[in-house]
């Protein structure tokens, strides 16, 4: 009897999730806003949006081209959960001119996307 109850409960919860449908997403289109880039070291930028045919995720990508020839690619993926990936391509093998760009980019990403205040319940301090 106990196993029958568990099976019924599992089938009910899986039906609820399946009824949300293929197009169900927690994070809706437009979750990542296209902002104007005002960094004086950036020579050009471009936003691109698409939907993954495999996972149905919204993918918003920002391409930054710096005046020294470096390129940064910031890809946001979101639907059920939110992830972002940063790739930085260095044009100069010396790498000295890129350090400031990378530092500024990482500081901006941390400021925008890091958790501001995390509260655990129950408290982890006790």
* pLDDT on residue 13: 47
* pLDDT on residue 14: 43
The DSSP 8-state label assigned to residue 22 in this structure reads T
- What is the side-by-side strand order in the sheet with 42-51? 42-51, 58-66, 71-78, 82-89
* pLDDT on residue 16: 43
In this structure, are residues 97 and 68 in contact, taking their beta carbons and an 8 Å threshold? yes
Residue spans of the domains in the chain: they are 26-113
pLDDT of the chain along its 126 residues, tens only?
Answer: 555 555 555 554 444 444 455 567 777 777 788 888 888 999 999 999 998 888 888 899 999 999 999 999 999 888 888 888 999 999 988 777 788 888 888 888 777 766 666 566 666 565
Q: What is d(CA 29, CA 7) in angstroms, rounded to the nearest whole number?
A: 36
Closest CA to 24 of 74, 81, 69: 81
Q: How far apart are the first and last CA of the chain?
A: 40
Beta carbons within 8 Å of 92's beta carbon, 6+ residues apart:
68, 69, 70, 98
* pLDDT on residue 66: 93
* pLDDT on residue 67: 92
pTM: 0.67
């Amino acid at each position: 009897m106990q196993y029958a109850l568990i099976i019924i409960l599992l089938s009910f919860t899986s039906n609820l999730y399946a009824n949300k449908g293929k197009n169900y997403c927690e994070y809706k289109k437009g979750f990542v806003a296209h902002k104007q880039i005002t960094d004086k070291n950036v020579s050009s930028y471009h936003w691109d949006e698409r939907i993954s045919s495999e996972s149905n995720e919204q993918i918003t990508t920002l391409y930054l081209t710096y005046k020294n020839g470096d390129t940064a690619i910031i890809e946001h993926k979101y639907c059920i959960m939110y992830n972002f990936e940063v790739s930085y391509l260095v044009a100069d093998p010396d790498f000295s001119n890129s350090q400031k760009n990378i530092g500024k980019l990482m500081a901006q990403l941390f400021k925008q996307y890091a958790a501001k205040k995390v509260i655990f319940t129950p408290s982890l301090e006790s």
